[in-house]
Amino acid sequence: MKILFYMPHADAASWLYDFARVLPDAELREWQAGDTAPADFAIVWRPPRDMLAGRDDLRAIFNLGAGVDAILALEHERPGTLPRNAKLVRLEDTGMAPQMAEYVTHAVLRYMRRFDEYQMLQSARRWQELEAHPRETFTVGVLGLGVLGAHVAQAVAAFGMPVRGYSRSARQIDGVTTFAGEAQFDAFLDGVKVLVNLLPHTPDTGDVLNARTFSKLARGAYLINVARGGHLVEQDLLEALASGQLAAATLDVVREEPLPPDHLFWREPRITITPHISALTLREESVAQVAQKITALMRGETVSGVVDIGRGY
Ligand code: NDP
Ligand code: OXD
């Protein structure tokens, strides 16, 4: 069995070493430009088009992340790029769910307890108590109730504020009021104080964080975007902050990454930016999951996490 590996900015030698330990019969190699030699599987993160185009020998492509938007964009831009019969398999949790829960609960509590404002008061050397946000109306709405969104919604609910969740198909999650499908979108948004985005980036979800969406939230609401920059209409965020419809935003993802030095977001004190780190791909957990799925596919078994290309996630 031949396996190609490609992950920019990663320590490829360590990844290949770890895969070799759990798949001792595999011939593993790091893909280099021009390599068209046969392969059965590809393990990739943001691969260049040349790596996948025309590789009809591939049985499966394993994406070293939860979001497959970068790979699907290759196909969208030039149909026929992805190998015809290869399954596209994404990571499922592999330690990302607890990281995402830490990141989002930290941001929600920071806003609920007004630590963002206390930080600004400290900068101004002002000792001033602010009125607390009432927990019972500090409603948190989570867009996307998949592997990560469901975990995050439950983690936030443990702190006692009302939590809502929104997905495409109906979901039931203890302690979370759920909404499904476009017909229930406005009811989900109505009066939400913190909107958390954990949707995949697909043709249906691009630009979902826009002026209309913000207008349905409680006045002075907060936005936490940990999914993709393409979900957010950046100008609409700046205008919502200027009008007071939104009080602040935490953005782990932006349209252009890294965020350009002259971008307005850097200068807006109500926007908190982190460099796409809310849930990192962990090597040990990811190697174990991918290796287990490769072994299952070799035995002719089915695996979970296979992307529905038409749906986009
Ligand atoms: P999943 O595929 O498990 O979950 C996706 C959820 O979104 C599902 O609940 C799905 O609904 C819902 N959904 C999809 N399309 C729509 C739609 N049109 N309308 C309403 N709901 C929709 O994904 P994960 O939870 O594993 O990951 C979510 C995203 O998080 C990734 O795609 C990635 O972009 C982002 N991410 C960001 C990271 C970071 O570091 N910033 C790290 C990891 C992931 P249904 O349940 O009905 O299918
Ligand atoms: C992912 C990511 O999708 O890291 O896994 O953004």
228 is catalytic: yes
- Residues contacting 11, CB < 8 A, separation 6+: none
Per-residue pLDDT, 150: 98
CB count in 10 Å sphere of residue 160: 11
Q: Assign 249 a pLDDT band (cuts: 50, 70, 90).
A: very high
Q: Assign 123 a pLDDT band (cuts: 50, 70, 90).
A: very high
2-94+281-311 and 96-273: same fold?
yes
Q: Which of 69, 281, 313 to mutate to test the pocket of ligand 2 (most atoms within 8 A of CB)?
A: 281
Q: For 33-62, what is each residue's pLDDT tens digit?
A: 999 999 999 999 999 999 999 999 999 999
- Residues contacting 274, CB < 8 A, separation 6+: 103, 250, 251, 252
Q: Which of 63, 92, 106, 167 to mutate to test the pocket of ligand 1 (most atoms within 8 A of CB)?
A: 167
CATH dotted code for 96-273? 3.40.50.720
Per the residue annotation, which of 276, 283, 299, 311 is the catalytic one? 276
The radius of gyration of the chain's CA atoms, rounded to the nearest angstrom, is 21
Of ligand 2's atoms, which has the minimum distance to the CA of residue 69? 3
Distance 200 CA to ligand 1 centre (A): 4
Residue 226 in contact with ligand 2 by CB distance below 6 A: no
Residue 227 in contact with ligand 1 by CB distance below 6 A: yes
Cβ(18)–Cβ(287) below 8 Å: yes
Q: Which CATH architecture has domain 2-94+281-311?
A: 3-Layer(aba) Sandwich (3.40)
Cβ(18)–Cβ(43) below 8 Å: no
Rounded to the nearest integer, the mean pLDDT of the chain is: 98
Percent of the chain with pLDDT over 90: 100
- Tokens matching residue 290: 């991918």
283 is catalytic: no
Q: For 82-98, what is each residue's pLDDT tens digit?
A: 998 999 999 999 999 99
Of ligand 1's atoms, which has the minimum distance to the CA of residue 313? 2
Verdict on whether the full-model pTM lies above 0.85: yes
Of ligand 1's atoms, which has the minimum distance to the CA of residue 91? 26
Residue 67 in contact with ligand 2 by CB distance below 6 A: yes
Q: Which of 96, 199, 251, 274 to mutate to test the pocket of ligand 2 (most atoms within 8 A of CB)?
A: 96
Tokens 């209409």 appear where? Answer: 233
For 269-304, b/e burial (b = at least 16 CB within 10 A) is ebbbbeebebbebebeebbebbbebbbebeeeeebe
> How is the chain split into domains, by residue range?
2-94+281-311, 96-273
The mean per-residue pLDDT over the stretch 256-283 comes to 98
Q: For 103-114, what is each residue's pLDDT tens digit?
A: 999 999 999 999
